[in-house]
Amino acid sequence: MSSTRREFLSAAGAAPALAQTARQRTANDQIQVACIGFGIMGSGDVATAVTVPGVKLTAVADVYDGRLARARELYGSIFTTRDYRQVLARPDVDAVIVATPDHWHSRIAADAMDAGKDVYCQKPMVQKVEEGHSVVAAEKRTGRILQVGSQRVSSVLYAKARDLVRQGAIGKVHLVESSWDRNSPLGAWQYSIPTDASPDTVDWDRFLGSAPNRPFEPVRLFRWRNYQDYGTGVCGDLFVHQFSGIHFVMDSLGPSRVMATGGLHYWKDGRDVPDIMMGMYDYPETPKHPAFHLNLRVNFEAGGGESHGFRFIGSDGALNLSVGGALVLTRKPRDPEPGYTVSTFAKAEQERYLAEYRKKYPARNTNADSLQPVDEQRFLMPRGYTEQYAHHANFFDAVRNRRPVDEDATFGLRAAGPALLSNISLFERKIVQWDPERMTVKS
């Protein structure tokens, strides 16, 4: 065990006894991590986590036996179980990755922190806004580290974008847009359902948890995103990434007004969540930036092709962020000519007006002179860089050295809040007022 780690542990006197036991039994500096929910993202998170130096997988929990078998195929003699509480009780687990369906996030994250574990919790941090403060409180009460899994927040690309906006590279930003267009069955969450899924291979009740009771129906587990009982629709799944990125780049706590609309138009496969959604959000002024407006869109029926990106539109230019890099376009200096609209005036007045106008703005020689110069700067991701790795590395560094993470529970709630309120705005057809500082819905 390293001295830094030991120093922290002795400082963490308030942590539960189990946490102390777990740390004391750790023979060296290695961080022993477990995964709860070893599906697409959980297995991806583990694959990334174990590439961070000093991180080792020791246990996996999942309610489908096939995924436990897959974990053993990949990682050998690890502990596997259907019951996540058995993972939390283990002294050889320092930290857990929570990658279950959304309706389990807050419960497992809080149980894990109460058991003395640090937590990497997938986004959205909570399924329902009202669960948020209990996670923030558990983080505070237990002194554990909690990182929410919106990896953009640790990205060099978003850090560059934030620097550029802070430095005024595109002037004052009053409008931000972000869209996420998809046009494929997998993009629309029609994931594979294993042929061996049965009440014998799936712990159905443990999957349902606090969700309404119902008979075994594998599509609801393997495509849980499509059902409000377990998921959060396109806004909890994708808007939340957009909010995380925007809040980070704009140094913002969140919007004060949430308005959303949308519907289910194409993927009518039994799901009860929309496949097209748009949101509009008003952001109050902050110490670093003026008030701005945000426009978000997710479209799973995007015949025009798949794309995803952000556009920060400022008074002097625009910053486009996409997966691979950033493009900054600036127009400087601005065209000094304001232009004129005189054709509706009487002829004599047109002539008088233009004569005065040309005294002030002499005519340019050629049409080419009237073209506006645009400065263009491109920033590309470094070769081999992934924000996924950066986000995990940030988490494990925080675990080892007891430092704040990039995306704690408060940041997670501030991203999840407006995303989840977008569902309320859509389903209840109303504008929702949000207090981004206190993270409460205003009546």
Ligand X SMILES: NC(=O)c1ccc[n+]([C@@H]2O[C@H](COP(=O)([O-])OP(=O)(O)OC[C@H]3O[C@@H](n4cnc5c(N)ncnc54)[C@H](O)[C@@H]3O)[C@@H](O)[C@H]2O)c1
Q: Minimal CA–CA distance to 1: which of 37, 36, 29?
A: 29
Q: Which residues contact 357 (CB under 8 A, 6 or more apart)?
A: 340
Of 71 and 170, which has the nearer Cβ to ligand X?
71
Name the segment binding ligand X (CB under 6 A); options: 48-56, 101-109, 357-365, 411-419.
101-109
- In angstroms, the CA 307 to CA 282 distance is 25
Strands (E) located in 220-316 = 257-263, 276-283, 292-299, 307-314
Pick one of 33, 34, 49, 61: the residue that binds ligand X (CB under 6 A).
61
Smallest gap from residue 135 Cβ to ligand X (A):
14
Of 111 and 177, which has the nearer Cβ to ligand X?
111
Question: Which of positions 155-214 make contact with ligand X (CB under 6 A)?
Answer: 206-207, 209
Number of residues that bind ligand X (CB under 6 A): 28
249 lines the binding site for ligand X (CB under 6 A): no
- In angstroms, the CA 375 to CA 352 distance is 36
Pick one of 19, 34, 64, 94: the residue that binds ligand X (CB under 6 A).
64
Pick one of 55, 63, 148, 249: the residue that binds ligand X (CB under 6 A).
63
40 lines the binding site for ligand X (CB under 6 A): yes
Pick one of 19, 33, 34, 36: the residue that binds ligand X (CB under 6 A).
36
101 lines the binding site for ligand X (CB under 6 A): yes
281 lines the binding site for ligand X (CB under 6 A): no
- In angstroms, the CA 91 to CA 368 distance is 73
DSSP state of 202: B
Site string for ligand X, 134-153 (x = CB under 6 A): ---------------x-x--
Cis peptide before 218 (omega within 30 of 0): no
Pick one of 8, 104, 248, 292: the residue that binds ligand X (CB under 6 A).
104
In total, the chain counts a number of residues equal to 443
Q: Which residues contact 220 (CB under 8 A, 6 or more apart)?
A: 214, 227, 229, 230
**Residue showing tokens 């990106």:** 309
For binding to ligand X (CB under 6 A), which residues are involved? 36-42, 61-64, 67, 84, 99-102, 104, 122-123, 149, 151, 206-207, 209, 221, 224, 237
